[in-house]
């Protein structure tokens, strides 16, 4: 199992209402001129800028960085949601991603039905899911709630369910966004133990989080992203201190005026 | 524990082919989603989709009795005709209209898991097939009540249905893509379908038009409906419609495959 990114750039087109409309596309030509306005009003956000990264067997990697640093975009590239605009992504191994608790779940369905749904998304067959069912329900600690619709669940309960399913089918690579922090400390401890067992089989974990305690708890390595670029990658403590240095660095003179 | 290790290269050139095949192979997913859509409609509703059955029954009766007088056709042939026509039309037009938002409906998944996008088109087809199955009831009642004869040729409706579904598959995928990028195409489609209801022999019979008129010969919706209607209602295998639908499948399918192949990777950015 390994992941290798080389010079990955992701540009997200932001369609203004104008560019989305076919009429706006057609009128300039129909009216017969104004090639000047051909810009389509397209705004592009460069969410990832030339990121190169190699992740090897058994590494538990945290993505850290301020809001808007590109953590979620990178997770989406790694899960195969986004194809990079430029650059290459090579992943060997089966990926299971849990980027967002609410997005994968269908809140009208019961917890039990959602376990099947989440399993089917991952291409897992019914008997295999049925076999894992008990383990998932136990890990998620949902008890009787498992037969109630998910819209009755708290955010933490949804997170536990998603986490339990994401780790249940022994994927090679597990990708999680920062929602894990929504769990209470008891669950975080449990998740940490389950993840440790998971990674002990030389699997890869990738986790985005703002909580440095979760990062220290779960991860062996960290990648520090800032405005779409990879600042450093390495052992977790080194990267955290680089991150903290940058956070505490006196930012532009505004603060100094006092 | 069996160690599964599949090579997965995200920048792969064959993402569209992967999507088509995996989309179909993961049949449990779209079947489950389609069935759940129907279950959802049953929830908190005493009749659920059976309301559609009832609605179709009332429409058949209303239009049937009125138009058999306007068009001076005996209700005994006209009502079975309108019943089978509306069954096919409702399926076709609902798939077309719903396909315009098929990807938006799966937005949550498309932006959080690597999932074949064709799943959402198949889900739309499954859901509407289940609805159509509900709607067979009033059609059967119409045929039985008027003792309208049906013979073995009616079985030709089955391959006809397959050909129709294949055409609906590419059409729905194509519309889902275009409407994701250009949101107002969905409005155009809705109006086009309204127009289609009037220019296609659904409420009026094709025999009321001069044979070979371009209104029929080049009307794709007419041909798709004929695939099912002609064997059951006219006891005839509609060869011309088979030809037209087969050509449409090849040409439309090829164009859709090319467009999908080119833009599959961009769809996630358009959500």
Rounded CA gap, B257 and B227, in Å?
24
Q: Please, which residues have CB within 8 angstroms of residue A229's CB and are 6 or more apart in sequence? A: A49, A50, A51, A70
Q: What is the ipTM of this complex?
A: 0.80
> Residue B269 and residue A82: Cβ atoms within 8 Å?
yes
- Cα B33 to Cα B185: distance, rounded to the nearest angstrom: 25
Give chain A positions within 8 Å (CB) of B23: none
The alpha carbon of B14 is separated from its chain's Cα centroid by a whole number of angstroms, namely 28
CA-wise closest residue to B148 among B244, B73, B218: B73
- Cβ <8 Å between A120 and B32: yes
CA B105 and chain centroid, separation: 17
What's the mean pLDDT when you consider all of chain B? 90
Q: Is the dihedral of CA B101, B103, B106, B108 positive or negative?
A: negative
Cα-based distances in Å from B76 to B65, B83, B214, B225? 10, 12, 29, 21
Helix (H, G, I), strand (E, B) or coil at A208: strand
Tokens 């989603």 -> residue: B33
The structure tokens listed for B204 are 């009026």
Residue A169 is predicted with a pLDDT of 85
Q: How many CB atoms lie within 10 A of CB A24?
A: 17
Q: Which residue has the tokens 């998944």?
A: B109
Q: What is the pLDDT of residues B92-144, one digit of tens each?
A: 999 999 999 999 988 888 888 888 999 999 999 999 999 999 999 999 999 99
Q: How many angstroms separate the CA of residue B83 from the nearest CA in chain A?
A: 34
Q: Check residue A23 and give its pLDDT.
A: 61
Tens place of pLDDT per residue across chain A (258 aa): 889 999 999 988 877 655 556 665 555 444 333 333 445 556 788 889 999 999 988 899 999 998 888 998 999 999 888 989 889 999 888 888 888 766 678 888 899 999 998 888 888 889 999 999 999 999 888 889 999 999 899 888 888 888 888 888 888 898 888 766 666 788 878 888 888 787 777 689 998 988 888 888 888 999 999 989 999 999 999 999 999 888 887 555 444 333
Q: What is the pLDDT of residue A254?
A: 45
Query: According to the model, what pLDDT value does residue B103 have?
Result: 94
Per-residue pLDDT of B171-203, as tens digits, reads 999 999 999 999 899 999 999 999 999 999 999
Chain A nearest C-alpha distance from B253 (Å)? 23
Alpha-carbon distance values, A21 to A6, A31, B265 (Å): 35, 16, 21
State which H helix or E strand residue A151 sits in: none
pLDDT of residue A181: 62
Q: Give bridge partners of residue A10 from the DSSP assignment.
A: A48
Please list every residue in chain B whose beta carbon sits closer than 8 Å to the beta carbon of residue A13: 269-270
- Which pLDDT score is estimated for A24? 59
DSSP state for residue B184 in the 8-state scheme? T
Distance from CA of A256 to the nearest CA of B (A): 41
Of A79, A84, A108, the CB nearest to B114: A79
How far is residue A40 CA from its own chain's centroid? Answer: 31
Contact A177, A141 (CB under 8 A): no
Cβ atoms A59, A9 nearer than 8 A: no
Sheet containing A86-92: give its strands across.
Answer: A42-55, A2-15, A86-92, B7-8
pTM of the model: 0.87
In chain B, what is the straight-line distance between the N-terminal and C-terminal CA atoms, in Å? 38
Choose, out of B28, B192, B270, the residue to mutate when testing the contact with A (most A CBs < 10 Å): B28
The whole-angstrom distance between A247's CA and the closest CA on chain B is 30
- Beta-ladder partners of A63: A208, A223
For chain B, what percent of residues have pLDDT higher than 90?
A: 73
The yes-or-no verdict on residue B3 having pLDDT over 50 is: no
**Tokens read off for B105:** 């409906």
């Amino acid at each position: 199992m390994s992941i290798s990114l080389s010079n990955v750039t992701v540009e997200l087109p932001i369609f203004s209402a104008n560019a989305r409309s076919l009429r706006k596309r057609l009128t300039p030509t129909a009216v017969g001129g104004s090639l000047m306005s051909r810009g389509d009003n397209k705004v592009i956000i460069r969410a990832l800028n030339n990121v190169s990264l190699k992740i090897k067997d058994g590494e538990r990697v945290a993505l850290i960085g301020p809001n808007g640093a590109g953590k979620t975009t990178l997770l989406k590239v790694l899960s195969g949601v986004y194809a990079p605009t430029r650059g290459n992504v090579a992943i060997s191994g089966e990926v299971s991603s849990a980027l967002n608790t609410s997005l994968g779940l269908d809140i009208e369905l019961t917890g039990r039905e959602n376990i099947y749904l989440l399993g089917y998304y991952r291409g897992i067959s019914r008997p295999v899911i049925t076999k894992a069912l008990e383990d998932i329900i136990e890990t998620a600690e949902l008890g009787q709630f498992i037969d109630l619709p998910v819209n009755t669940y708290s955010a933490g309960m949804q997170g536990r369910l998603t986490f339990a399913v994401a780790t249940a089918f022994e994927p090679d690579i597990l990708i999680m966004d920062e929602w894990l922090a929504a769990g209470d400390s008891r669950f975080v401890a449990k998740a940490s133990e389950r993840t440790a067992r998971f990674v002990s089989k030389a699997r890869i974990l990738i986790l985005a989080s703002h909580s440095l305690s979760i990062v220290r708890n779960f991860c062996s390595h960290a990648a520090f992203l800032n405005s779409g670029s990879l600042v450093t990658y390495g052992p977790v403590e080194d990267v955290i201190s680089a991150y903290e240095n940058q956070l505490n660095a006196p930012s532009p003179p505004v603060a100094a005026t006092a | 524990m069996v160690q599964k290790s599949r090579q997965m290269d995200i920048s792969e050139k064959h993402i569209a082919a992967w999507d088509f095949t995996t989309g179909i192979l993961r049949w449990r997913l779209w079947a489950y989603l389609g069935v759940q859509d129907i279950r959802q409609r049953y929830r908190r509703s005493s009749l659920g989709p059976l309301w559609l059955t009832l609605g179709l029954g009332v429409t058949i009766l209303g239009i049937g009795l009125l138009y058999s007088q306007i068009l001076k056709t005996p209700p005994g042939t006209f009502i079975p005709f309108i019943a089978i026509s509306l069954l096919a039309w409702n399926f076709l037009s609902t798939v077309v209209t719903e396909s315009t938002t098929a990807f938006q409906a799966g937005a949550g998944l498309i932006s959080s898991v690597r999932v074949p996008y064709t799943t959402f088109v198949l889900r739309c087809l499954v859901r509407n097939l289940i609805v159509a199955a509900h709607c067979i009831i009033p059609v059967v009642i119409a045929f039985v009540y008027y003792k309208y004869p049906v013979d073995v040729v009616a079985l030709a409706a089955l391959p006809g249905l397959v050909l129709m579904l294949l055409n609906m598959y590419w059409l729905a995928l194509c519309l889902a893509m275009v409407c994701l990028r250009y949101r107002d195409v969905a409005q155009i489609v809705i109006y086009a379908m309204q127009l289609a209801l009037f220019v296609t022999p659904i409420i009026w019979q094709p025999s009321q038009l001069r044979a070979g008129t371009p209104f029929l010969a080049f009307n794709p919706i007419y041909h798709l409906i004929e695939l099912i209607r002609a064997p059951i209602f006219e006891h005839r295998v509609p060869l011309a419609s088979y030809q037209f639908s087969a050509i449409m499948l090849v040409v439309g399918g090829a164009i859709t495959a090319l467009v999908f192949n080119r833009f599959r990777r961009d769809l996630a950015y358009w959500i």
